[in-house]
Amino acid sequence: MVAISLFTLGGTIAMRDEGGGARPALGPAELMAGLDLDPAHVDLTAEAVVNLPSGHLTLDDIYDLARRIRAAIDDGAEAVVVTQGTDTLEETAFALDLLLDVDQPIVITGAMRAASTLGTDGPTNLHAAILTAADPTARGRGVLVVLNDSVHGARGVTKAHTSRVDAFRTRDGGPIGLIAEGRIVWAGALTRSPRLVLPLQARARVPVYTSYLGDDGVALLALAAMDLQGLVVEGFGGGHVPPALGQTLESVAAQVPVVLASRCAEGPVLTQSYGYAGSERDLIARGLIPAGNLAGVKARLALTILLDGGADLERVKAFFAAL
């Protein structure tokens, strides 16, 4: 028998539409009802952390969740399942993967259709997540995301569609596993990131700035005037911006860490291909730190956790260089 701790955070999987749109309504007992789990195989205990749309969650909520998961594992949990909304699920998964250095499976799932919607995918996804968590071959693979019978690693997973049940994809490759006939068929390689210290609380203000055609740098100047502890810039293609942004970014990078990501759906930030003003070579020479193949929101998450944990500039550079 596998002892599994279930933590619920709300989201579409826990919502019903009684008129006026879907809203949080279900607790752990309702989510587990009708799952048809084998009591001889799974011992499931559940705890409601919050019941919110995932866009309402904060990084402090995720730090708290990480502590709860660690405590559950210390108390004997052999696996963990988390349910939450899909809008920020990829960020929760990546944050937990950075913060929890454990072998026990941690599986996150959600739903694209509310519990009151015809064809809701919540029960199927939760059942698949529990099966994955209980599978001994899931150990040592970090935080996993399970939806639509696909298993994704936390680092590469992203929500690629607003409403379809197959909304989740893995950047630079497909899912690392598929679920068929109640078992996992592992398919792809898993890339994990270095572990980070769990901060006491979220303090650092780290926005994401996305550059665009015709960007004259005025909006960036306004952002740079704020009290920032870090910045992530999403550039075009391999990590490029209009030349008007170069001097401002250099000035900001002289004060706080500035990480360079790409707004592309796949591929890493380049480091040595282009040499024109605003190119990746120009920006790196001005002090920007390339994000590797991390999406902007995940680069921002990693930078925020690093800064919340007291990392200096050299530690930040070392983390991103190790990706």
- Say how many C-beta atoms besides its own lie within 10 A of residue 236's C-beta: 17
233: enclosing H helix or E strand = strand 231-235
Query: 268-294 burial, b for 16+ CB within 10 Å, e for fewer?
Result: bbbeeeeeeebbbbbbbebbbbbbbbb
In angstroms, the Cα distances linking 215 to 2, 254, 275 are 54, 22, 19
Give every CB contact of residue 74 below 8 A, 6+ residues apart in sequence. none
* Distance separating alpha carbons of residues 92 and 88, to the nearest angstrom: 7
Please, are residues 157 and 93 in contact by the beta-carbon 8 Å criterion? yes
Please, are residues 149 and 112 in contact by the beta-carbon 8 Å criterion? no
Residue 255 DSSP SS3: coil
Please, are residues 206 and 180 in contact by the beta-carbon 8 Å criterion? no
Question: What DSSP designation does 236 have?
Answer: B
Whether 86 has a binding-site annotation, put simply, is: yes
* Distance separating alpha carbons of residues 89 and 62, to the nearest angstrom: 11
Please, are residues 90 and 145 in contact by the beta-carbon 8 Å criterion? yes
Whether 87 has a binding-site annotation, put simply, is: yes
In angstroms, the Cα distances linking 170 to 26, 219, 237, 267 are 29, 31, 19, 12
Residue 288 DSSP SS3: coil
Look up 12 and say whether it is catalytic: yes
Dihedral sign, CA of 251, 199, 49, 175? positive
Whether 36 has a binding-site annotation, put simply, is: no
Q: Looking at 8, 12, 109, 158, which residue is catalytic?
A: 12
Q: Which residues are annotated as a binding site for substrate?
A: 54, 86-87
Looking at the annotation, which residues are catalytic?
12
Q: Which residues are annotated as a binding site?
A: 54, 86-87
